[in-house]
Structure 1
Amino acid sequence: MEIRTRSIRSLAYRCEEFLDENGKPRSISYPNSLALCILDALFMTGSHPTAIDNVVGRYTARHGGTDGAKSLRYSIAAAGGSEKWAHEVICNLKPAHTQPGAMLRAEVVDRATRLMADHGIDTVDDLLAAVGDEPSTGRHANEVARAWRELPSQKSGISWRALLMVAGSDHFEIDHRVRGFFGWPFGSYPRMTDDEVLELISATADYLDVDDRVVKQIVWQISHRRLRPDPKRKELVLPYFLDDALDEEPDWWSGTYDPEVRHEADEWASIFEPEYSTAPFESEEALESQRTFEPKGELAPADEDEPDWAAPYPLPGTTGAAPF
């Protein structure tokens, strides 16, 4: 599939919301604290973004924003164990899974710190060096990745990929959620292949003048609901047929996200505007009075101006055939 101008502009528009005016990413990352990376990754699955931010914020308020894995383990030990730590430090008693008797996620955090100690990892740089360019999943995955996925309820590998994302790794695995992200707004029918996704990300990074890793991180965190796009931000409606040149932007899009002008688009219509709203619900009696059927056993004649496929189905029971 050819990567079209429309696809590049659509992805750029969605990514720009998470770039500041200098092009610096506003996605979630903790390059100076492996402790915060571990907390964010292990509390991400099945949690609202605000709940994850609260866990990270409470730990940061107590210990600062530069702790490594070793300091995180000491914090749990100093509190008297993972359960007391969950009560007193992060104030979050979320279980590792939904089955009865599940351990707390705080206990999984404690085990993750022991895993890091077993592999001599304390800082973000240690983690990135240990992972290197080896695959993060699959048969030939890095040994740290395999050990992480053996933690309770972490077999899917989502939390491991989340850890790499917030740590700033170049690893980027295209899973089903990332593929789902590249849907109809990018003109991807049939669905884009992994190579086409990477090609589109690279082209968009060039268009935004940022590193590929920045776009990958934003795409991954949006598709896994770690980042929440502004629901009031205008949709970018572009024609399907655009030339390959990227010199002209829509009249109302300046090329930089500005929340102050998000309501000023001239050629944008919301599904919530009156002209697009549905008619009010009518009572069953009113609807019944509008129905006109021919006597039983006869079919209502199709209107001469209507094509054959627009003729109504016969009523069930009149011909013995079901309507579908």
Structure 2
Amino acid sequence: MSEPLIFAIPSKGRLKEQVDGWLTDCGFTLETDGGERGYRARLRGLPQVDVRLMSASDIAAALDAGDIHLGVTGEDLLRESGSLTDDPHTDDRVMLLRALGFGRADLVVAAPQSWIDVEVMADLEEVAHLYLARTGGRLRVATKYAVQTRAFFAAKGVADYRIVESGGATEGAPAAGLAELVVDITTTGATLAANNLKIISDGVILKSQAQLAASLRAPWTAGQLGSVRRLVSTAEARARARKLASLRWPPEADTVAEAAVAPWLTAGATRRTDGLLAPESALFDLAAALAEAGVGPVSVTRPDYVFEAVCAVVDRLAERVSHRA
């Protein structure tokens, strides 16, 4: 028997529920060993996959180390680990395969609301310089995201500050007198506002969300790549199907119908032997064009999946891991 693909998903909380829902929607059922408190699972519909239940931060670390092949975690955690960068001279250790559309949060710079003259990062640069001249110390920035904070502040030209590692509730650091600024994850900004903090208008470091990611350090076999291809191509087919509708008409009207729908064949619609597969946004325009041409009845169905012959992202993954072998 070939080695299984090791796939890690969050072990608890809202993110686990969302991943479970995504897998179920794609047609894969998660079966946990040892009940709800188990830390190993299987995916019905995707054999040869060993599912591990871990914290989101542990998943990011395991992807970085090559201890697992595949994982779902936040992009913010992957970038903080340094396994995923925008530097063309740095080899990434993790590859993003698919953004999942949930687990959204922004990594932001926030300052006290009382700093009425501070609206953009350029203002912070000036305040930091004045603070250093007045106190002899640097502005303190409380954060759990030191790597991304340093890179962002450098890009914005802010140098007179120092990082204060946050071990607890970061947003409370200014009120406790531990820092002047914070860099933290937020979904709505409500917690920051409740702590009398405001988000700097150009201080959004990262718009993060849950990502399906693959380790470039893990040892890969053809069978493991095949399992990833099946998972990703199915997820893509499910997402593609939500945006498409299938139109059918009587066979005897085919010639007239083909002429009526011709303008849409260069705008995302695909001709089929029994009708047309078209973007749902064009559905009513197509129905009207067919009716005007005297074609009917026209039936509309929504496909469950629309598979393509290739899965480009997994092809790129296969190429990248082969180069590292």
- Quickly name the TM-score band, shorter chain normalised: under 0.3
Structure with greater strand share of residues: 2
Computing the radius of gyration from Cα coordinates, the structure with the larger value is 1
TM-score calculated relative to the size of structure 2: 0.24
Normalising by structure 1, we get a TM-score of 0.25
Considering fraction of residues, name the structure with more helix: 1
